[in-house]
Chains A and B, each alone.
Chain A
Amino acid sequence: MSFADIKEKLTAQFALISLDFSSFRDNDRVVVPPSHLFEILSYLKTTFSFDMLIDLSAADYLHLQGATHRYGIWYAVLNVENGERFIVKTHLDDPDPRLPSVYDLWKGADWMEREVYDMFGIEFDGHPDLRRILLPDEFVAFPLRKDYPLRGMGERHNFQPVIRSES
Protein backbone atom coordinates (compact mmCIF):
# COMPACT_ATOMS: atom_id res chain seq x y z
CA MET A 1 0.00 0.00 0.00
CA SER A 2 1.58 3.23 -1.06
CA PHE A 3 0.80 6.74 0.07
CA ALA A 4 -1.34 7.23 -3.03
CA ASP A 5 -3.47 4.18 -2.13
CA ILE A 6 -3.98 5.36 1.42
CA LYS A 7 -4.88 8.80 0.15
CA GLU A 8 -7.38 7.43 -2.36
CA LYS A 9 -9.10 5.09 0.07
CA LEU A 10 -9.24 7.59 2.91
CA THR A 11 -10.71 10.28 0.68
CA ALA A 12 -13.29 7.84 -0.62
CA GLN A 13 -14.22 6.59 2.84
CA PHE A 14 -14.37 9.98 4.55
CA ALA A 15 -15.64 12.10 1.68
CA LEU A 16 -17.42 14.63 3.87
CA ILE A 17 -14.44 15.47 6.05
CA SER A 18 -11.62 17.76 5.04
CA LEU A 19 -8.41 15.73 5.05
CA ASP A 20 -5.15 17.54 4.45
CA PHE A 21 -2.56 15.19 2.95
CA SER A 22 1.07 16.19 2.73
CA SER A 23 4.46 14.67 2.30
CA PHE A 24 7.85 15.87 3.51
CA ARG A 25 11.06 13.89 2.88
CA ASP A 26 9.93 10.33 3.65
CA ASN A 27 7.13 11.30 6.04
CA ASP A 28 3.61 10.82 4.70
CA ARG A 29 0.92 12.37 6.79
CA VAL A 30 -2.63 13.53 7.01
CA VAL A 31 -4.20 16.21 9.17
CA VAL A 32 -7.66 15.27 10.33
CA PRO A 33 -10.29 17.03 12.45
CA PRO A 34 -10.31 15.84 16.09
CA SER A 35 -13.97 14.84 15.88
CA HIS A 36 -13.17 12.05 13.43
CA LEU A 37 -9.73 11.12 14.73
CA PHE A 38 -10.66 7.85 16.39
CA GLU A 39 -12.76 6.74 13.43
CA ILE A 40 -9.93 7.40 10.99
CA LEU A 41 -7.29 5.75 13.16
CA SER A 42 -9.36 2.60 13.62
CA TYR A 43 -10.07 2.57 9.88
CA LEU A 44 -6.33 2.82 9.20
CA LYS A 45 -5.65 0.02 11.66
CA THR A 46 -8.20 -2.39 10.20
CA THR A 47 -7.86 -1.58 6.50
CA PHE A 48 -4.14 -1.01 6.16
CA SER A 49 -3.13 -3.03 9.23
CA PHE A 50 -1.10 -0.28 10.85
CA ASP A 51 -0.83 -2.46 13.92
CA MET A 52 1.88 -0.69 15.90
CA LEU A 53 1.71 2.79 17.39
CA ILE A 54 5.26 4.06 17.20
CA ASP A 55 4.89 7.53 18.58
CA LEU A 56 2.23 9.72 20.09
CA SER A 57 3.05 13.19 21.24
CA ALA A 58 2.07 16.80 20.98
CA ALA A 59 3.40 20.28 20.40
CA ASP A 60 2.22 23.68 21.55
CA TYR A 61 2.08 26.13 18.61
CA LEU A 62 1.50 29.21 20.74
CA HIS A 63 4.47 31.23 19.42
CA LEU A 64 4.80 29.61 16.00
CA GLN A 65 4.26 32.08 13.19
CA GLY A 66 1.37 31.19 10.92
CA ALA A 67 -0.05 28.54 13.22
CA THR A 68 -3.83 28.47 13.31
CA HIS A 69 -4.33 26.21 16.30
CA ARG A 70 -2.81 25.94 19.77
CA TYR A 71 -1.94 22.25 19.97
CA GLY A 72 -0.96 19.62 17.45
CA ILE A 73 -1.02 15.92 18.32
CA TRP A 74 0.54 13.32 16.09
CA TYR A 75 0.15 9.57 15.88
CA ALA A 76 2.98 7.81 14.03
CA VAL A 77 1.85 4.31 13.08
CA LEU A 78 3.73 1.39 11.56
CA ASN A 79 2.63 -1.64 9.59
CA VAL A 80 4.77 -4.39 11.08
CA GLU A 81 4.22 -6.72 8.13
CA ASN A 82 5.74 -4.49 5.43
CA GLY A 83 7.38 -1.72 7.46
CA GLU A 84 5.26 1.08 6.06
CA ARG A 85 4.78 4.21 8.13
CA PHE A 86 2.14 6.91 8.30
CA ILE A 87 1.53 9.93 10.49
CA VAL A 88 -1.92 11.16 11.49
CA LYS A 89 -2.11 14.63 12.95
CA THR A 90 -4.85 16.60 14.55
CA HIS A 91 -5.20 20.08 16.03
CA LEU A 92 -6.84 21.24 19.24
CA ASP A 93 -7.56 24.55 20.89
CA ASP A 94 -8.07 26.02 24.33
CA PRO A 95 -10.12 25.82 26.45
CA ASP A 96 -10.47 22.18 27.42
CA PRO A 97 -8.29 20.37 24.88
CA ARG A 98 -9.70 16.87 24.77
CA LEU A 99 -9.32 13.82 22.53
CA PRO A 100 -10.62 10.26 22.51
CA SER A 101 -8.08 7.76 23.84
CA VAL A 102 -6.66 5.22 21.41
CA TYR A 103 -5.84 2.78 24.19
CA ASP A 104 -8.47 0.40 22.79
CA LEU A 105 -6.67 0.27 19.44
CA TRP A 106 -3.07 0.16 20.67
CA LYS A 107 -2.22 -0.63 24.28
CA GLY A 108 1.13 1.07 23.72
CA ALA A 109 -0.73 4.38 23.85
CA ASP A 110 -1.16 4.03 27.61
CA TRP A 111 1.95 5.80 28.84
CA MET A 112 2.33 8.01 25.78
CA GLU A 113 -1.09 9.55 26.41
CA ARG A 114 -0.27 9.96 30.07
CA GLU A 115 2.89 11.81 29.11
CA VAL A 116 1.00 14.14 26.78
CA TYR A 117 -1.51 14.80 29.57
CA ASP A 118 1.33 15.44 31.99
CA MET A 119 3.25 17.82 29.76
CA PHE A 120 0.47 19.59 27.82
CA GLY A 121 -2.72 19.09 29.80
CA ILE A 122 -4.53 17.45 26.91
CA GLU A 123 -7.06 15.00 28.29
CA PHE A 124 -7.87 11.67 26.72
CA ASP A 125 -11.43 10.39 27.15
CA GLY A 126 -11.62 6.69 27.83
CA HIS A 127 -8.06 6.29 29.06
CA PRO A 128 -8.07 3.73 31.89
CA ASP A 129 -5.65 5.53 34.19
CA LEU A 130 -5.00 9.15 33.24
CA ARG A 131 -2.64 10.41 35.93
CA ARG A 132 0.52 12.47 35.76
CA ILE A 133 3.42 10.20 34.93
CA LEU A 134 6.71 12.09 35.19
CA LEU A 135 5.75 14.97 37.43
CA PRO A 136 4.31 14.76 40.95
CA ASP A 137 0.56 14.82 41.42
CA GLU A 138 0.62 18.19 43.20
CA PHE A 139 2.19 19.88 40.19
CA VAL A 140 -0.31 22.30 38.68
CA ALA A 141 1.34 23.57 35.49
CA PHE A 142 1.99 21.84 32.17
CA PRO A 143 5.69 22.41 31.53
CA LEU A 144 6.03 21.74 27.81
CA ARG A 145 3.46 24.39 26.97
CA LYS A 146 5.13 27.43 25.48
CA ASP A 147 3.78 29.80 28.12
CA TYR A 148 5.71 27.89 30.79
CA PRO A 149 9.15 29.45 31.35
CA LEU A 150 12.35 27.44 30.91
CA ARG A 151 13.42 27.97 34.51
CA GLY A 152 10.09 27.00 36.00
CA MET A 153 7.69 28.96 38.16
CA GLY A 154 9.23 28.31 41.56
CA GLU A 155 7.59 24.93 42.13
CA ARG A 156 10.57 23.64 44.03
CA HIS A 157 9.58 25.81 47.00
CA ASN A 158 6.53 23.62 47.40
CA PHE A 159 8.70 20.59 48.01
CA GLN A 160 10.35 20.90 51.37
CA PRO A 161 13.12 18.43 52.11
CA VAL A 162 11.85 15.57 54.25
CA ILE A 163 14.15 14.53 57.07
CA ARG A 164 14.07 11.15 58.69
CA SER A 165 12.87 12.23 62.13
CA GLU A 166 9.83 13.92 60.59
CA SER A 167 8.90 11.27 58.11
Chain B
Amino acid sequence: MPLILADAIPETSSPEREFLWTLNFGPQHPATHTTLRLILTLDGEVVVHAIPDIGFLHSGFEKLGEHLDFNQYVTIVDRMNYISPVSNEISWHHAVEKLLDIELTPRCKYIRTIFAELMRIHDHLVCCGAAALDLGAFTAFLYAFNLREKINDISEAASGQRFHPSYTRVGGLLCDVDDVWITKIRAFIKLFYSAYADLMKLLQRNRIFVDRTRGVGVLTKEEAINRSATGPIARASGVTRDLRKDQPYLAYKDFDFKVVCSTEGDCYARFLVRMEEMVQSIKIITQAVENIPSGPINIDVNSKFVVPNQMSVYRSIEGLIQHFELHMTNRQWETPKEEIYAATESPNGELGFYIVSDGSGVAYRARTRPPSFVHFSLFPHLIVGHQISDIPAVLGSINIIAAELDR
Protein backbone atom coordinates (compact mmCIF):
# COMPACT_ATOMS: atom_id res chain seq x y z
CA MET B 1 0.00 0.00 0.00
CA PRO B 2 1.61 3.25 -1.01
CA LEU B 3 0.73 5.53 1.85
CA ILE B 4 3.30 8.01 0.65
CA LEU B 5 1.76 9.25 -2.56
CA ALA B 6 4.97 10.76 -3.88
CA ASP B 7 6.61 7.33 -4.13
CA ALA B 8 3.82 5.91 -6.20
CA ILE B 9 3.38 8.68 -8.71
CA PRO B 10 5.67 8.94 -11.73
CA GLU B 11 7.86 11.97 -12.15
CA THR B 12 5.70 15.01 -12.95
CA SER B 13 8.17 17.79 -12.42
CA SER B 14 9.59 17.74 -15.93
CA PRO B 15 8.09 20.54 -18.09
CA GLU B 16 6.44 18.21 -20.63
CA ARG B 17 4.60 16.41 -17.87
CA GLU B 18 3.63 19.22 -15.56
CA PHE B 19 0.08 19.47 -16.94
CA LEU B 20 -0.64 16.02 -15.51
CA TRP B 21 -2.64 15.90 -12.33
CA THR B 22 -3.29 13.26 -9.72
CA LEU B 23 -6.64 11.99 -8.56
CA ASN B 24 -7.37 9.70 -5.68
CA PHE B 25 -10.21 7.30 -6.59
CA GLY B 26 -11.68 5.33 -3.71
CA PRO B 27 -11.44 3.43 -1.39
CA GLN B 28 -14.98 4.61 -0.73
CA HIS B 29 -16.54 5.27 -4.08
CA PRO B 30 -19.85 3.92 -5.45
CA ALA B 31 -18.16 2.39 -8.49
CA THR B 32 -15.58 0.45 -6.51
CA HIS B 33 -18.37 -1.50 -4.75
CA THR B 34 -16.02 -2.60 -2.02
CA THR B 35 -12.74 -1.13 -0.94
CA LEU B 36 -10.47 -0.56 -3.88
CA ARG B 37 -8.28 2.49 -4.19
CA LEU B 38 -6.76 3.83 -7.37
CA ILE B 39 -4.23 6.60 -7.69
CA LEU B 40 -4.71 8.04 -11.15
CA THR B 41 -2.40 10.29 -13.09
CA LEU B 42 -4.53 12.19 -15.57
CA ASP B 43 -4.06 14.28 -18.65
CA GLY B 44 -7.30 16.22 -18.59
CA GLU B 45 -9.77 13.35 -18.42
CA VAL B 46 -7.53 10.70 -19.94
CA VAL B 47 -5.83 8.23 -17.65
CA VAL B 48 -2.06 8.25 -18.22
CA HIS B 49 -1.10 6.01 -15.34
CA ALA B 50 -3.06 4.09 -12.73
CA ILE B 51 -1.80 2.54 -9.52
CA PRO B 52 -4.15 0.22 -7.67
CA ASP B 53 -3.77 0.25 -3.92
CA ILE B 54 -5.22 -2.83 -2.27
CA GLY B 55 -5.19 -4.53 1.08
CA PHE B 56 -7.98 -2.68 2.89
CA LEU B 57 -9.85 -5.91 3.46
CA HIS B 58 -6.83 -8.09 4.21
CA SER B 59 -7.75 -10.39 7.05
CA GLY B 60 -5.21 -13.17 6.90
CA PHE B 61 -7.32 -16.00 5.45
CA GLU B 62 -4.25 -17.99 4.46
CA LYS B 63 -2.81 -17.74 7.96
CA LEU B 64 -6.14 -18.96 9.36
CA GLY B 65 -5.99 -21.86 6.91
CA GLU B 66 -2.86 -23.04 8.69
CA HIS B 67 -4.73 -23.27 11.99
CA LEU B 68 -8.16 -24.65 11.02
CA ASP B 69 -8.75 -28.19 9.90
CA PHE B 70 -10.05 -29.18 6.47
CA ASN B 71 -13.69 -29.01 7.47
CA GLN B 72 -13.43 -25.85 9.56
CA TYR B 73 -11.59 -23.85 6.92
CA VAL B 74 -14.54 -24.18 4.56
CA THR B 75 -16.36 -21.46 6.49
CA ILE B 76 -13.48 -19.08 5.82
CA VAL B 77 -13.13 -20.12 2.20
CA ASP B 78 -16.72 -19.27 1.31
CA ARG B 79 -16.19 -15.75 2.55
CA MET B 80 -13.53 -15.19 -0.09
CA ASN B 81 -15.64 -14.74 -3.17
CA TYR B 82 -18.91 -14.10 -1.40
CA ILE B 83 -20.97 -13.87 -4.57
CA SER B 84 -20.21 -17.47 -5.46
CA PRO B 85 -19.49 -19.07 -2.08
CA VAL B 86 -20.14 -22.71 -2.90
CA SER B 87 -17.70 -22.56 -5.83
CA ASN B 88 -14.94 -21.74 -3.37
CA GLU B 89 -15.97 -24.56 -1.05
CA ILE B 90 -16.00 -27.01 -3.93
CA SER B 91 -12.59 -25.82 -5.01
CA TRP B 92 -11.11 -26.12 -1.53
CA HIS B 93 -12.46 -29.60 -0.96
CA HIS B 94 -11.48 -30.58 -4.49
CA ALA B 95 -7.89 -29.88 -3.48
CA VAL B 96 -8.23 -31.68 -0.14
CA GLU B 97 -9.85 -34.69 -1.76
CA LYS B 98 -7.12 -34.85 -4.36
CA LEU B 99 -4.56 -34.82 -1.55
CA LEU B 100 -6.39 -37.64 0.25
CA ASP B 101 -7.18 -39.46 -3.02
CA ILE B 102 -10.93 -39.58 -2.44
CA GLU B 103 -13.34 -40.51 -5.21
CA LEU B 104 -16.73 -38.96 -4.49
CA THR B 105 -20.05 -40.76 -4.81
CA PRO B 106 -22.03 -40.10 -8.02
CA ARG B 107 -24.83 -38.36 -6.14
CA CYS B 108 -22.42 -36.00 -4.40
CA LYS B 109 -20.76 -35.20 -7.72
CA TYR B 110 -24.08 -34.27 -9.31
CA ILE B 111 -25.22 -32.11 -6.42
CA ARG B 112 -21.89 -30.32 -6.33
CA THR B 113 -22.02 -29.78 -10.08
CA ILE B 114 -25.49 -28.26 -9.86
CA PHE B 115 -24.34 -25.98 -7.07
CA ALA B 116 -21.21 -24.95 -8.95
CA GLU B 117 -23.31 -23.98 -11.95
CA LEU B 118 -25.91 -22.18 -9.84
CA MET B 119 -23.09 -20.19 -8.32
CA ARG B 120 -21.76 -19.38 -11.77
CA ILE B 121 -25.15 -17.93 -12.68
CA HIS B 122 -25.27 -16.11 -9.34
CA ASP B 123 -21.84 -14.59 -9.88
CA HIS B 124 -22.49 -13.58 -13.48
CA LEU B 125 -25.87 -12.07 -12.61
CA VAL B 126 -24.33 -9.90 -9.91
CA CYS B 127 -21.40 -9.00 -12.11
CA CYS B 128 -23.49 -8.05 -15.17
CA GLY B 129 -26.14 -6.34 -13.07
CA ALA B 130 -23.60 -4.29 -11.11
CA ALA B 131 -21.69 -3.43 -14.28
CA ALA B 132 -24.92 -2.12 -15.77
CA LEU B 133 -25.71 -0.24 -12.55
CA ASP B 134 -22.37 1.55 -12.69
CA LEU B 135 -23.13 2.62 -16.23
CA GLY B 136 -26.50 4.02 -15.27
CA ALA B 137 -28.82 1.12 -16.15
CA PHE B 138 -30.52 0.65 -12.82
CA THR B 139 -33.40 -1.50 -14.08
CA ALA B 140 -31.15 -4.28 -15.33
CA PHE B 141 -29.55 -4.47 -11.90
CA LEU B 142 -32.93 -5.10 -10.27
CA TYR B 143 -33.84 -7.79 -12.77
CA ALA B 144 -30.52 -9.52 -12.07
CA PHE B 145 -30.89 -9.25 -8.32
CA ASN B 146 -34.43 -10.56 -8.40
CA LEU B 147 -33.22 -13.74 -10.08
CA ARG B 148 -30.29 -13.98 -7.72
CA GLU B 149 -32.63 -14.08 -4.73
CA LYS B 150 -34.02 -17.34 -6.09
CA ILE B 151 -30.56 -18.88 -6.02
CA ASN B 152 -30.15 -17.78 -2.42
CA ASP B 153 -33.44 -19.54 -1.70
CA ILE B 154 -32.04 -22.71 -3.27
CA SER B 155 -28.92 -22.49 -1.05
CA GLU B 156 -31.19 -22.07 1.94
CA ALA B 157 -33.24 -25.12 1.00
CA ALA B 158 -30.10 -27.26 0.84
CA SER B 159 -28.06 -26.06 3.78
CA GLY B 160 -30.13 -23.65 5.86
CA GLN B 161 -27.99 -20.64 5.00
CA ARG B 162 -28.60 -18.22 2.18
CA PHE B 163 -25.28 -16.48 1.86
CA HIS B 164 -22.50 -18.64 3.22
CA PRO B 165 -23.82 -22.18 3.07
CA SER B 166 -20.54 -23.99 4.07
CA TYR B 167 -22.16 -26.90 2.32
CA THR B 168 -19.31 -29.21 1.34
CA ARG B 169 -17.37 -31.52 3.62
CA VAL B 170 -14.35 -33.73 3.05
CA GLY B 171 -15.67 -36.68 1.07
CA GLY B 172 -19.22 -35.41 0.74
CA LEU B 173 -21.73 -32.83 1.78
CA LEU B 174 -23.21 -31.36 4.92
CA CYS B 175 -26.59 -33.00 4.32
CA ASP B 176 -28.61 -34.53 1.52
CA VAL B 177 -30.98 -32.48 -0.60
CA ASP B 178 -34.72 -33.08 -0.66
CA ASP B 179 -37.64 -32.70 -3.04
CA VAL B 180 -38.13 -29.05 -2.10
CA TRP B 181 -34.67 -28.32 -3.43
CA ILE B 182 -35.39 -30.09 -6.71
CA THR B 183 -38.71 -28.28 -7.07
CA LYS B 184 -37.05 -24.94 -6.45
CA ILE B 185 -34.42 -25.62 -9.09
CA ARG B 186 -37.07 -26.62 -11.64
CA ALA B 187 -38.95 -23.41 -10.88
CA PHE B 188 -35.72 -21.46 -11.19
CA ILE B 189 -34.97 -22.93 -14.62
CA LYS B 190 -38.41 -21.86 -15.84
CA LEU B 191 -37.96 -18.38 -14.43
CA PHE B 192 -34.44 -18.02 -15.73
CA TYR B 193 -35.18 -17.83 -19.43
CA SER B 194 -37.72 -15.02 -19.14
CA ALA B 195 -35.54 -13.02 -16.75
CA TYR B 196 -32.54 -13.62 -18.97
CA ALA B 197 -34.47 -12.39 -22.01
CA ASP B 198 -35.45 -9.24 -20.09
CA LEU B 199 -31.87 -8.63 -19.05
CA MET B 200 -30.61 -9.11 -22.58
CA LYS B 201 -33.30 -6.85 -24.00
CA LEU B 202 -32.35 -4.14 -21.53
CA LEU B 203 -28.64 -4.26 -22.19
CA GLN B 204 -27.58 -6.01 -25.37
CA ARG B 205 -28.63 -3.26 -27.76
CA ASN B 206 -28.92 -0.48 -25.21
CA ARG B 207 -27.16 2.39 -27.00
CA ILE B 208 -25.65 3.91 -23.85
CA PHE B 209 -24.46 0.59 -22.50
CA VAL B 210 -22.95 -0.52 -25.81
CA ASP B 211 -21.29 2.84 -26.47
CA ARG B 212 -19.67 2.82 -23.06
CA THR B 213 -18.44 -0.77 -23.19
CA ARG B 214 -17.55 -1.57 -26.80
CA GLY B 215 -13.88 -0.95 -27.54
CA VAL B 216 -13.15 -0.07 -23.91
CA GLY B 217 -10.50 -1.92 -21.94
CA VAL B 218 -9.34 -4.16 -24.76
CA LEU B 219 -7.22 -7.14 -23.71
CA THR B 220 -5.48 -8.96 -26.55
CA LYS B 221 -5.00 -12.70 -26.52
CA GLU B 222 -1.21 -12.43 -26.08
CA GLU B 223 -1.60 -10.04 -23.17
CA ALA B 224 -4.25 -12.24 -21.58
CA ILE B 225 -1.91 -15.23 -21.68
CA ASN B 226 1.16 -13.31 -20.60
CA ARG B 227 -0.65 -11.65 -17.70
CA SER B 228 -2.20 -14.90 -16.42
CA ALA B 229 -5.83 -14.05 -17.12
CA THR B 230 -8.24 -17.00 -16.81
CA GLY B 231 -11.97 -17.60 -16.88
CA PRO B 232 -14.45 -15.38 -18.73
CA ILE B 233 -11.91 -12.57 -19.06
CA ALA B 234 -9.44 -14.77 -20.91
CA ARG B 235 -12.19 -16.42 -22.93
CA ALA B 236 -13.50 -13.03 -24.04
CA SER B 237 -10.01 -12.44 -25.47
CA GLY B 238 -9.92 -15.71 -27.38
CA VAL B 239 -8.15 -18.05 -24.93
CA THR B 240 -10.14 -21.27 -25.22
CA ARG B 241 -9.24 -22.73 -21.84
CA ASP B 242 -11.93 -24.04 -19.51
CA LEU B 243 -11.01 -26.44 -16.73
CA ARG B 244 -14.45 -28.04 -16.94
CA LYS B 245 -13.47 -29.34 -20.39
CA ASP B 246 -9.68 -29.60 -20.01
CA GLN B 247 -9.53 -31.61 -16.80
CA PRO B 248 -13.13 -32.68 -16.21
CA TYR B 249 -13.75 -32.84 -12.49
CA LEU B 250 -17.02 -33.61 -10.67
CA ALA B 251 -19.65 -34.78 -13.19
CA TYR B 252 -18.83 -32.40 -16.07
CA LYS B 253 -17.95 -35.31 -18.35
CA ASP B 254 -21.61 -36.36 -18.47
CA PHE B 255 -23.04 -33.10 -19.72
CA ASP B 256 -23.33 -31.42 -23.05
CA PHE B 257 -22.23 -27.80 -22.92
CA LYS B 258 -20.11 -25.36 -24.85
CA VAL B 259 -17.16 -23.23 -23.85
CA VAL B 260 -18.11 -19.64 -24.62
CA CYS B 261 -15.45 -17.54 -26.30
CA SER B 262 -15.08 -14.24 -28.08
CA THR B 263 -12.20 -12.60 -29.90
CA GLU B 264 -12.98 -8.96 -29.21
CA GLY B 265 -11.55 -8.74 -25.70
CA ASP B 266 -13.35 -5.54 -24.71
CA CYS B 267 -15.82 -4.90 -21.89
CA TYR B 268 -18.78 -5.65 -24.14
CA ALA B 269 -17.30 -9.02 -25.13
CA ARG B 270 -16.77 -9.90 -21.48
CA PHE B 271 -20.39 -9.00 -20.80
CA LEU B 272 -21.61 -11.17 -23.68
CA VAL B 273 -19.40 -14.10 -22.66
CA ARG B 274 -20.79 -13.97 -19.13
CA MET B 275 -24.36 -13.80 -20.39
CA GLU B 276 -23.87 -16.79 -22.69
CA GLU B 277 -22.10 -18.75 -19.96
CA MET B 278 -25.25 -18.44 -17.89
CA VAL B 279 -27.22 -20.14 -20.68
CA GLN B 280 -24.66 -22.94 -20.81
CA SER B 281 -24.83 -23.30 -17.03
CA ILE B 282 -28.61 -23.57 -17.07
CA LYS B 283 -28.21 -26.26 -19.75
CA ILE B 284 -25.95 -28.23 -17.42
CA ILE B 285 -28.35 -27.76 -14.52
CA THR B 286 -31.30 -28.89 -16.63
CA GLN B 287 -29.48 -32.07 -17.62
CA ALA B 288 -28.17 -32.71 -14.12
CA VAL B 289 -31.25 -32.08 -12.03
CA GLU B 290 -33.31 -34.67 -13.88
CA ASN B 291 -30.58 -37.29 -13.59
CA ILE B 292 -29.35 -37.09 -10.02
CA PRO B 293 -28.25 -40.61 -9.11
CA SER B 294 -29.58 -42.19 -5.96
CA GLY B 295 -27.35 -43.49 -3.21
CA PRO B 296 -25.33 -41.94 -0.40
CA ILE B 297 -23.92 -38.41 -0.55
CA ASN B 298 -20.86 -39.26 1.51
CA ILE B 299 -18.22 -41.84 0.76
CA ASP B 300 -18.03 -44.92 2.93
CA VAL B 301 -17.53 -44.11 6.61
CA ASN B 302 -15.00 -46.93 6.90
CA SER B 303 -12.60 -44.97 4.73
CA LYS B 304 -12.05 -42.76 7.82
CA PHE B 305 -12.38 -39.54 5.87
CA VAL B 306 -15.97 -38.48 6.47
CA VAL B 307 -17.72 -37.39 9.62
CA PRO B 308 -20.47 -39.97 10.32
CA ASN B 309 -24.05 -38.81 10.73
CA GLN B 310 -25.69 -38.37 14.10
CA MET B 311 -27.60 -41.66 13.92
CA SER B 312 -24.49 -43.77 13.56
CA VAL B 313 -22.56 -41.77 16.17
CA TYR B 314 -25.22 -42.44 18.79
CA ARG B 315 -26.19 -45.97 17.74
CA SER B 316 -22.92 -47.65 16.78
CA ILE B 317 -19.50 -47.93 18.33
CA GLU B 318 -17.75 -47.59 14.95
CA GLY B 319 -19.55 -44.33 14.28
CA LEU B 320 -18.68 -43.02 17.72
CA ILE B 321 -15.02 -43.88 17.34
CA GLN B 322 -14.89 -42.34 13.89
CA HIS B 323 -16.53 -39.15 15.15
CA PHE B 324 -14.07 -38.95 18.03
CA GLU B 325 -11.11 -39.57 15.73
CA LEU B 326 -12.03 -36.77 13.36
CA HIS B 327 -12.89 -34.19 15.98
CA MET B 328 -10.00 -34.58 18.42
CA THR B 329 -7.37 -32.04 17.43
CA ASN B 330 -4.51 -34.47 18.02
CA ARG B 331 -5.98 -37.15 15.70
CA GLN B 332 -8.03 -36.09 12.67
CA TRP B 333 -7.15 -37.09 9.12
CA GLU B 334 -4.00 -38.89 8.15
CA THR B 335 -2.67 -37.18 5.07
CA PRO B 336 0.34 -37.98 2.91
CA LYS B 337 3.27 -35.65 3.58
CA GLU B 338 3.04 -34.09 0.17
CA GLU B 339 2.19 -30.94 -1.68
CA ILE B 340 -0.55 -30.55 -4.21
CA TYR B 341 -1.99 -27.92 -6.49
CA ALA B 342 -5.58 -28.44 -7.58
CA ALA B 343 -7.86 -25.97 -9.30
CA THR B 344 -11.43 -25.69 -10.46
CA GLU B 345 -13.14 -23.34 -12.87
CA SER B 346 -14.79 -20.83 -10.60
CA PRO B 347 -17.10 -18.20 -12.15
CA ASN B 348 -14.29 -15.68 -12.09
CA GLY B 349 -11.55 -17.87 -13.46
CA GLU B 350 -9.19 -20.52 -12.21
CA LEU B 351 -9.49 -20.82 -8.45
CA GLY B 352 -6.71 -23.04 -7.19
CA PHE B 353 -5.45 -24.22 -3.84
CA TYR B 354 -1.91 -25.29 -3.13
CA ILE B 355 -1.80 -27.40 0.00
CA VAL B 356 1.40 -28.30 1.80
CA SER B 357 0.59 -31.14 4.16
CA ASP B 358 2.60 -32.20 7.19
CA GLY B 359 0.61 -35.39 7.70
CA SER B 360 -2.04 -33.91 9.98
CA GLY B 361 -5.60 -32.78 9.38
CA VAL B 362 -4.60 -29.13 9.26
CA ALA B 363 -2.89 -27.78 6.18
CA TYR B 364 0.69 -26.70 6.81
CA ARG B 365 0.23 -24.07 4.13
CA ALA B 366 -3.03 -23.37 2.34
CA ARG B 367 -2.29 -21.09 -0.56
CA THR B 368 -5.20 -19.70 -2.54
CA ARG B 369 -4.72 -18.75 -6.16
CA PRO B 370 -7.38 -16.06 -6.31
CA PRO B 371 -8.61 -15.04 -9.78
CA SER B 372 -9.61 -11.54 -8.61
CA PHE B 373 -6.07 -10.81 -7.46
CA VAL B 374 -4.59 -11.74 -10.81
CA HIS B 375 -7.29 -9.93 -12.76
CA PHE B 376 -6.97 -6.72 -10.81
CA SER B 377 -3.28 -6.60 -11.71
CA LEU B 378 -4.49 -6.29 -15.32
CA PHE B 379 -6.43 -3.17 -14.51
CA PRO B 380 -3.71 -0.49 -14.93
CA HIS B 381 -2.93 -2.02 -18.30
CA LEU B 382 -6.58 -1.98 -19.40
CA ILE B 383 -7.44 1.54 -18.32
CA VAL B 384 -4.48 3.49 -19.70
CA GLY B 385 -5.60 5.73 -22.56
CA HIS B 386 -9.24 5.69 -21.55
CA GLN B 387 -11.22 8.33 -19.68
CA ILE B 388 -12.19 8.53 -16.03
CA SER B 389 -15.77 7.63 -16.94
CA ASP B 390 -14.52 4.32 -18.38
CA ILE B 391 -13.19 3.19 -15.01
CA PRO B 392 -16.58 1.89 -13.78
CA ALA B 393 -17.03 0.05 -17.09
CA VAL B 394 -13.67 -1.72 -16.83
CA LEU B 395 -13.97 -2.40 -13.10
CA GLY B 396 -17.43 -3.84 -13.60
CA SER B 397 -16.32 -6.06 -16.44
CA ILE B 398 -13.40 -7.68 -14.60
CA ASN B 399 -15.56 -8.38 -11.55
CA ILE B 400 -13.23 -7.69 -8.65
CA ILE B 401 -14.36 -9.12 -5.33
CA ALA B 402 -12.33 -7.35 -2.68
CA ALA B 403 -12.66 -10.12 -0.10
CA GLU B 404 -10.99 -12.52 -2.51
CA LEU B 405 -8.55 -9.88 -3.74
CA ASP B 406 -7.20 -9.14 -0.26
CA ARG B 407 -8.03 -12.38 1.54
Q: Is the CB of B226 within 8 A of A143?
A: no
Residue B241 lies at the interface, judged by CB distance under 8 Å to chain A: yes
Give residues 53-98 of A contacting B (CB, 8 Å). 53-55, 57, 59-60, 63-66, 72, 74, 76, 78, 80, 83, 87
Q: Is the CB of B241 within 8 A of A83?
A: yes
CB distance from B225 to the nearest CB of A (A): 5
Knowing A27-B341, A150-B67, the reply to whether A108 touches B374 (Cβ < 8 A) is yes
Could you say which residues of chain B place their CB within 8 Å of the CB of A133? 1, 54-55
Residue A52 lies at the interface, judged by CB distance under 8 Å to chain B: yes
CB distance from A9 to the nearest CB of B (A): 22
Q: Is the CB of A55 within 8 A of B339?
A: no
Give residues 237-270 of B contacting A (CB, 8 Å). 239, 241, 246-247
Knowing A54-B350, A108-B374, the reply to whether A134 touches B406 (Cβ < 8 A) is yes
Give residues 323-343 of B contacting A (CB, 8 Å). 336-343
CB distance from A141 to the nearest CB of B (A): 12
Q: Is the CB of A74 within 8 A of B354?
A: yes
Q: Is the CB of A111 within 8 A of B356?
A: no
Residue B29 lies at the interface, judged by CB distance under 8 Å to chain A: no
Give residues 22-40 of A contacting B (CB, 8 Å). 24-27
Residue B62 lies at the interface, judged by CB distance under 8 Å to chain A: yes
Could you say which residues of chain B place their CB within 8 Å of the CB of A55? 341, 352, 354, 367, 369
Q: Is the CB of A136 within 8 A of B1?
A: yes
Q: How far apart sit A60 and B407, CA to CA, in the bound complex (Å)? A: 19
Q: Is the CB of B227 within 8 A of A107?
A: yes
CB distance from A114 to the nearest CB of B (A): 9
Residue A137 lies at the interface, judged by CB distance under 8 Å to chain B: yes
Could you say which residues of chain A place their CB within 8 Å of the CB of B358? 63-65
Name which of B228, B230, B343 has the most chain A CB atoms within 10 A of its CB: B228
A interface list, Cβ under 8 A from B: 24-27, 51-55, 57, 59-60, 63-66, 72, 74, 76, 78, 80, 83, 87, 106-112, 115, 119, 131-138, 143-144, 150
| Contact sample, A vs B, 17 pairs, CB 8 Å cutoff | A24-B338, A25-B101, A25-B342, A52-B225, A53-B228, A54-B350, A59-B364, A66-B337, A76-B354, A87-B341, A107-B223, A111-B373, A112-B228, A131-B2, A132-B55, A134-B1, A135-B1
